[in-house]
Amino acid sequence: MKATGLVGERHALTCNGRRVPLHPTGNAGEYVAGVRYRAWQPPSALHPTIGVHTPLVFDLVDTWMSRSLGGCQYHVSHPGGRHHDSFPVNAYEAEGRRLSRFLALGHTPGRVEVRAEERNPNFLFTLDLRRA
């Protein structure tokens, strides 16, 4: 993900209530990070004890005021349960399908406390939701 217009110490980005380790790109107020998560759990798969993390709820938190300024939800498939029977016809339809996975509502309301997270030394700029 990429976030622009942030003040480094004041703003934090969270995913499912956990702080995302943002890394500056060199441009003022621009940061990038990655999120690893489990999208679905088929009947036979590795790691049966790790649950599904979707939908992902992203919040932009003002740490000085301890409030969420806004956010969105990301679903792995269509949030209404729609199933597509065919592949997209062109790039516009594919883009439309991707955009339908994001909802601009559903962020965390009220007071939000953001805790500091220990970073994984192998993946410094990735939040791994599969780890406790």
Q: Return mean pLDDT, the chain.
A: 87
**In the predicted structure, residue 8 carries a pLDDT above the cut 90:** no
Greatest mean pLDDT range, 26-30, 32-36, 77-81: 32-36
> What amino acid occupies position 28?
A
pLDDT of residue 92: 94
d(C-alpha 29, C-alpha 3), whole Å:
8
Mean pLDDT of 3-30: 90
Span of 45-49, 94-98, 120-124 with lowest mean pLDDT: 45-49
Chain length of the chain: 132
Paired strand residues for 6:
none
The string of pLDDT tens digits covering residues 49-62 is 888 888 899 999 99
